[in-house]
Amino acid sequence: MVKHRTHSIEFKRQVVQEFLGGESPHALAKRHGISRNLIKIWVAKYDAGGLDSDAAAADVLADYEARIAVAGQFEMWDLPGGNVHQ
């Protein structure tokens, strides 16, 4: 299974600013060890306002809410006896 790295909003903004300053996606990708496609995604999010701290916080909240909703679909199991709570 592939483990995905997460990058801070500040790092993403830094890379986007370097790109907007004229640095090529190839050079940025090589220097920071990320893909050119990821840079393009971050630039698109930046243009849409998605790299603002409030928007980032909303994304994290939405992710947590989705995980809670999925977890709520499962029944709770007792650890010692393996009995299902009804």
> Is this structure's pTM higher than 0.85?
no
Task: Examine residue 1 and state whether it is found in any structural domain, yes or no.
Answer: no
Interval 4-17: pLDDT, tens: 678 888 899 999 99
Q: What does the pLDDT look like over 38-54, one tens digit per residue?
A: 999 999 999 988 887 77
**Nearest partner of 45 among 12, 86, 18, judged by Cα:** 12
User: Rounded to whole angstroms, how far apart are CA atoms 61 and 10?
Assistant: 18
Domain count, the chain: 1
Whether 79 shows a pLDDT value over 90: the answer reads no
Could you tell me the residue range of the domain that residue 29 belongs to?
9-72
Residue 81 lies in a domain: no
| Predicted pLDDT at 66 | 79
Determine the average pLDDT of the residues in 60-79. Answer: 69
